[in-house]
Amino acid sequence: MDSVNESNDYMPASGAKCSQYKVNSIQMQERETEVISPKWNKVLQIVLGFSLVFALGGLCALWTLYNNKRADFESLNEQHIMVSKQLAAQEINSTALKKEFNDLTARYNTLREWLSFYDAQSCNLSADGWIACRGKLYLFSSDKLNWSSSRDVCVSKGADLVTITSRSEQDFLLSKIKITHWIGLNDLDTEGHWVWVNNQTLNETGVQFWFNEEPRQPDNWRVQDPSGENCASLGDHYGNFQSWFDASCKTEKKFICEKKY
């Protein structure tokens, strides 16, 4: 019985020890918690603080960026409106200038045609088909020959291929032809250096009426004739009779002779 009692006495004692241990352990944990919690709280507060600062900084940076971009946009918008207004004003000026230019061109062409008609009226058919006009005699051929043969025919008649020295002379000749004709202009001696049969250069005569649209003339086109285009004609085969064209001298065309009288 004593052993049983001893045993029974022991058990309660041992249980009390366990309980005490548990109590101690809880108290220690609580103390640790009490000691640790403020430390982690502080860390968390610092982290949160930094996060807030960064977040606010980011928001400020975004706001600043937005405002800068907005200011740039408004500045560009003002510039765009200003340039649009300037362009509109220039368009109006350009339209007005174009209209003025077209009016002037129309008046110029009307006056030129009238003068040309007047000049033509003052020119008379002379003997052997020659037309006398302002101190010169002109002959418009009925045959087609190459440039050299054309010139030979003119020379054989005491003349030469025509030399055009003024707008009114150009207009008079144009009023008399329906197809392309050789004239006395060539760059046979030096490519690109155009001279009349009387050795006058274009600078000396002061006028030239080359075709001024694409393909601009003279273009010394070599496809038809590898030696190029070294003789000039009034008009071309496509119906452009208002201008000069360089062509292969071997081409056969009608021609215009000229001599003084």
The nearest distance, CB 133 to Ca ion, in angstroms, is: 28
**Separation CA 246–CA 229 (nearest Å):** 5
Cα–Cα distance, 197 to 185 (Å, whole number): 6
Least separation in angstroms between residue 209's CB and Ca ion is: 14
Among 246, 251, 253, 255, binds Ca ion (CB under 5 A): 246
State yes or no: residue 141 binds Ca ion (CB under 5 A).
no
Should residue 236 be labelled a site residue for Ca ion when binding is judged by CB under 5 A? no
User: Would you call 43 exposed, middle or buried from its count of C-beta atoms within 10 A (0-12, 13-18, 19+)?
Assistant: exposed
Residue 228 interacts with Ca ion (CB under 5 A)?
yes
Q: Is 235 in the site for Ca ion (CB under 5 A)?
A: no
- Determine if 240 is a binding residue for Ca ion (CB under 5 A): no
Q: How far is the CB of 150 from Ca ion (least distance, A)?
A: 17
Cβ 146 to Ca ion shortest distance, Å = 15
220 near Ca ion (CB under 5 A): yes
As a whole number of angstroms, the longest Cα–Cα distance in the chain is 178
Q: Which stretch binds Ca ion (CB under 5 A): 55-63, 135-143, 146-154, 240-248?
A: 240-248
Instruction: Name which of 107 and 237 has its Cβ closer to Ca ion.
Output: 237
Least Å distance, CB 159 to Ca ion, is 24
Rounded Cα gap, residues 16 and 93, in angstroms: 111
* Residue 219 contacts Ca ion per CB under 5 A: yes
Positions in 9-68 near Ca ion (CB under 5 A): none
Contact window for Ca ion (CB under 5 A) among 37-45, 137-145, 178-186, 221-229:
221-229
Binding letters toward Ca ion, positions 186-215, x by CB under 5 A: -x----------------------------
Segment interacting with Ca ion, rule: CB under 5 A, options 9-17, 64-72, 182-190, 252-260: 182-190
The footprint of Ca ion (CB under 5 A) covers 187, 217, 219-221, 228-230, 246
